[in-house]
Amino acid sequence: MSAAQELRVKYRDIKPEIGAEILEDKATLLSGVYASELRDLLEQKGVLVLPQIHFTDEEQVAFTKTLGQLAQENRGADVYKVTLDKSQTSTADYLKGSFYWHFDGAMNPTPIRASILSSKVISLEGGNTEFANTYAAYEGLPVERKQQIADLRAVYAATATQMCHTPEPSYEEFMRWRALGRVELPLVWKHESGRKSLVIGNYAVNVLGMDPLDGIELLVYLRDWATQERYHYSHKWSVGDTVIWDNTGTLHRAMPYPLDCGRMLHRTKLQGEEPLR
Ligand SMILES: [Fe+2]
């Protein structure tokens, strides 16, 4: 299935180049009858919103498994609680990196295919999750830019994201982040489907073979290009919403919110299916 008009699943476009709202009920979604169409739509639109679907954790896990292979979290759990409340998570400080544009699992050879987030407690101020479609952004680039970046590679490391929120870490803190890894990745992901997407975000440290400032200029240009209005969707959460994004063709970030507001999202992940090299 390739063209959106061939799909039977009921949905409406949020914007022409990013986002679709799925208009099916919970039982239909859990049945898996539209799973392959949802996967196609996910790649085309980058982000799928299931408004007010009110999945329990068990239902979210079951729904995730209709779409592909569930990826377990670090400690073997199926569901991860995304919160900055230190009583709920030991990684609250690390998660502050999610306030900056990124994709998940950049350090893994095969980044996760998709993330699925369900809202349990919302922040009354801020706290939207924002997305940018890096397939559409690549396709819209001027031809000269496509030629410039066709074979470029960049260094990606968690240190870069963490230094966005803590620009002057202690040496020990920096070394803890540094131990999280470093990878060299292409700026353009040439997918097995033949489509291409941009590999950018705040993990990017520098572009190999370029003067450091010229490399930063290019990374800033590409991030600014990819997050412009036409490729960008900001999701304002209601309790019970579930949002799925294609992690191989989008960037995302959380908008700031009061850290003590109790905002809570439950995440499941779809196993990566395609190596990024
Ligand atoms: Fe993330």
Is 97 a domain residue?
A: no
CB-proximal residues (5 Å) to ion ligand 1? 98, 104
Model pLDDT for residues 51-93, shown as the tens digit of each residue: 999 999 999 999 999 999 999 987 889 999 988 877 776 666 6
Please give the distance, rounded to the nearest whole angstrom, from the Cα atom of residue 104 to the centre of ligand 1. Answer: 5
Provide the b/e sequence for 56-86 (b: ≥16 CB within 10 Å): eeebbbbbbbbbbebbeeeeeebbbbbbbee
User: pTM value?
Assistant: 0.94
**H or E element that contains 156:** strand 153-157
Say whether both 263 and 178 belong to one domain: no
Is 182 a domain residue?
A: yes
Is 94 a domain residue?
A: no
Is 98 a domain residue?
A: no
Model pLDDT for residues 211-260, shown as the tens digit of each residue: 999 999 999 999 999 999 999 999 999 999 999 999 999 999 999 998 88
Please give the distance, rounded to the nearest whole angstrom, from the Cα atom of residue 118 to the centre of ligand 1. Answer: 14
Is 128 a domain residue?
A: no
Say whether both 241 and 220 belong to one domain: no
Please give the distance, rounded to the nearest whole angstrom, from the Cα atom of residue 8 to the centre of ligand 1. Answer: 30
Say whether both 245 and 151 belong to one domain: no
Please give the distance, rounded to the nearest whole angstrom, from the Cα atom of residue 91 to the centre of ligand 1. Answer: 13
What are the C-alpha distances in Å from 30 to residues 58, 134, 166, 217?
Answer: 11, 28, 42, 45
Is 277 a domain residue?
A: no
Say whether both 197 and 255 belong to one domain: no
